[in-house]
């Protein structure tokens, strides 16, 4: 057997397992698999067209990221939502992204400024909803939104810090997905993004950090009001 065939055969199971993990994670974060739902192996194997081993690997990985919980003798469940957790995650994200944004601004480069300018331009030009009258989520906006926020902190010079910020963003996105329709009606986030961008480009570090943290707190307040009703 040729060496390249051997290598591809060895990589295939890992690639399949990663694909299942990514699909399952996306469905949890978007609330397609709702909080508290039992993740039955039979359903998962049929829905994702996979064997049990990749599914179990994906569930264990998601459990380590605190998106799934395992209960002895009962199997796996999508982690339920909690307003206390929402507040804790928001507080932590404000802390760590405040540090990361401050470092990014202090380490400003022409390349970082250019990338941030392009990211903000694309986000600002992309409609939040595919329907201006009735909210319909726009996946392209979500991609540009995630890219913009990632770039804000991406120049901080610490991969572990960036990785932790990404985990927090994932866990908070699940809450945001549950209240996205209400937020669309009562909030114009484009103005908030523009203010954060302007402060960062102008190297007004304290203003940029305060604006970013208030941006996250407003999101949490809307979600709490919605889910607490």
pTM of the model: 0.83
CA distance 112 to 53: 42
Q: Identify the pLDDT of residue 184.
A: 65
Place of tokens 């739902």: 37
Rg (alpha carbons) of the chain, rounded to whole number: 20
Averaged confidence pLDDT in the chain: 88
CA distance 101 to 117: 15
* For residues 140-149, average pLDDT: 96
Cβ neighbours for 137, distance < 8 A, ≥ 6 positions apart: 129, 130, 180
Across 8-22, 107-121, 125-139, least confident range: 8-22
Cβ neighbours for 25, distance < 8 A, ≥ 6 positions apart: 58, 62, 65, 67, 170
User: Environment class of residue 100 by beta-carbon count within 10 Å: exposed (0-12), middle (13-18) or buried (19+)?
Assistant: buried
* For residues 166-175, average pLDDT: 92
CA distance 115 to 25: 28
Residues forming a β-bridge with 68:
78
Q: Is 70 exceeded by the pLDDT of residue 229?
A: no
Instruction: Look at 131 and 77; give whichever has higher pLDDT.
Output: 77
Across 5-19, 151-165, 191-205, least confident range: 5-19
């Amino acid at each position: 057997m040729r060496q390249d065939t051997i290598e591809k055969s060895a990589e295939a199971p890992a690639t399949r397992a990663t694909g299942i993990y990514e699909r399952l994670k996306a469905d949890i974060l978007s609330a397609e698999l709702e909080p508290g739902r039992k993740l039955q192996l039979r359903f998962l194997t049929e829905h994702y067209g996979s064997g049990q081993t990749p599914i179990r690997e994906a569930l264990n990985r998601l459990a380590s990221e605190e998106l799934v919980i395992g209960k002895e003798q009962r199997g796996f469940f999508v982690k339920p939502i909690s307003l206390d957790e929402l507040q804790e995650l928001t507080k932590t994200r404000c802390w760590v992204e405040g540090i990361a944004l401050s470092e990014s601004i202090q380490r400003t480069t022409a390349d970082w400024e250019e990338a941030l300018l392009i990211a903000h331009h694309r986000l600002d030009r992309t409609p939040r909803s595919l329907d201006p009258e009735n909210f319909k989520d726009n996946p392209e906006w979500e991609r540009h939104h995630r890219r913009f926020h990632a770039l804000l902190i991406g120049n901080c010079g610490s991969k572990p810090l960036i990785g932790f910020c990404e985990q927090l963003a994932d866990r908070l996105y699940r809450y945001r997905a549950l209240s996205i329709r209400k937020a669309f009606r009562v909030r114009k986030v484009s103005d908030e993004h523009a203010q954060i961008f302007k402060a960062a480009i102008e190297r007004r570090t304290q203003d940029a950090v305060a604006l970013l943290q208030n941006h996250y707190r407003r999101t949490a307040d809307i979600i709490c009001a919605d889910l607490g009703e």
